[in-house]
Amino acid sequence: MADAIEGQAEKLAQILVQEQGKPLADATMEVHGTAAFFRYFTSLNLDVEVRDDSEARRVEAHRTPLGVVGCDSTLELSAAFAGV
């Protein structure tokens, strides 16, 4: 996803300029920041949480990213928050 965002960075920045009236430099920085968010979250190591480790049983919680989720935001950094 980050590669796709960066591959269309110029186009996405122009969309932000048109939709939100941002200066192009700010919009470009926001688009690259969004790609950085995606890279960061995909690099996280989600450790296994041991919830019970007794003689009778072992219970582990394995966390797996769900993938794409929706976000409705009125904040000015809406593109950046899409990566969260």
* pLDDT one-digit tens code per residue, 7-58: 999 999 999 999 989 999 999 999 999 999 888 888 888 899 999 999 999 9
Number of domains in the chain: 1
Q: 47, 31, 43, 38: which is closest to 84 by C-alpha?
A: 38
Cα 53 from chain centre: 34
* pTM for the structure as a whole: 0.62
Spatial separation of the C-alpha atoms in residues 81 and 75, rounded to whole Å: 9
CA distances (Å), origin 66, targets 44, 76, 83 = 14, 26, 13
Q: Which residues pair with 58 in a beta bridge?
A: 53
Give me the domain span that covers residue 22. Answer: 2-81
